[in-house]
Amino acid sequence: MAKNVRTAPEVNAGSMADIAFLLLIFFLVTTTIDVDKGVLVKLPPWSDEPPEDLKLNKRNVYSVLVNADNQLLVRGEPQQVSTLKNNAKEFIMNPSKRSDMSEAPNKAIISLKNDRGTSYKTYLEVYNELKAAYNELREEEAQRKYGKAFEYLDKARQKEIRSRIPLVISEAEPTNFGEE
């Protein structure tokens, strides 16, 4: 009797591992580690007045139209998404100084217009290609001037390159075609 009073009964901890396993498996199954990724854009602020008509030199505008059938019209010529990036790059930098392409990279403006019936997938693809063109140009500029990748440059230099090759994508109100 005396022995029983003195020592508290031991709890069997052998099943602890099993319980922990059970919880572990639960969290393993419910875990989603993937982070949200996407194409970051900045919208222009809303104003109730219609935008001013800017007098733009036609050579500086790279107009991209995407119609309700998801076809592209770039500067009046039909084009494929796959060639869009390289053509846009050539237009922005204008290495051969052609008179029908942009005067300087910071004067180039990309005008993007779509129909209400354009599919979102195509729209994003086109937007992605245009953004890729700019990213590649900045990367090339960084390599040429500093011999380093753009993302490893310090803030001031990144800013400088960004101001030299500014990303200007102007989006017009879509036309009312092909909405379901």
Partner 1 sequence: MGKFQKKRGKSTPKVSTASLPDIIFMLLFFFMVVTVLRDSELKVENNVPYATELTKLEKKSLVNYMFIGKPVKNYQAQYGTKPALQLGDKFADISEIPLFLEKHRSTVPEGQRPGINTSMKVDGDVTMGFVTDVKTKLRKSGQLKLNYSAKKRPN
Q: Using the rule CB under 8 A, give the single segment among 88-96, 98-106, 146-154, 172-180 that binds partner 1.
A: 172-180
CA distances 132 to 1, 84, 126, 139, 152, Å, are 83, 10, 10, 10, 18
- Do the beta carbons of residue 66 and residue 122 sit within 8 Å? yes
**Phi, psi dihedrals of residue 130, rounded to the nearest 5°:** -65, -40
Nearer to partner 1, 4 or 31 (CB): 31
Q: How far is the CB of 76 from partner 1 (least distance, A)?
A: 21
Binding to partner 1 by residue 104, rule CB under 8 A? Answer: no
- Footprint (CB under 8 A) of partner 1, residues 44-63: 44-46
Q: How far is the CB of 96 from partner 1 (least distance, A)?
A: 26
Residue from 105, 107, 160, 178 in contact with partner 1 (CB under 8 A): 178
Rounded Cα distance, 26 and 39, in Å? 33
Rounded Cα distance, 81 and 169, in Å? 17
Rounded Cα distance, 167 and 7, in Å? 77
Binding to partner 1 by residue 39, rule CB under 8 A? Answer: yes
Binding to partner 1 by residue 132, rule CB under 8 A? Answer: yes
Backbone dihedral region of 147: left (phi > 0), alpha (psi from -120 to 50 degrees) or beta?
Answer: left
Binding to partner 1 by residue 77, rule CB under 8 A? Answer: no
Which residues would be at the binding site for partner 1 (CB under 8 A)?
13, 16-17, 20-21, 23-24, 27-28, 30-33, 35-46, 114-121, 123-125, 127-128, 131-132, 135, 173-174, 176, 178-180
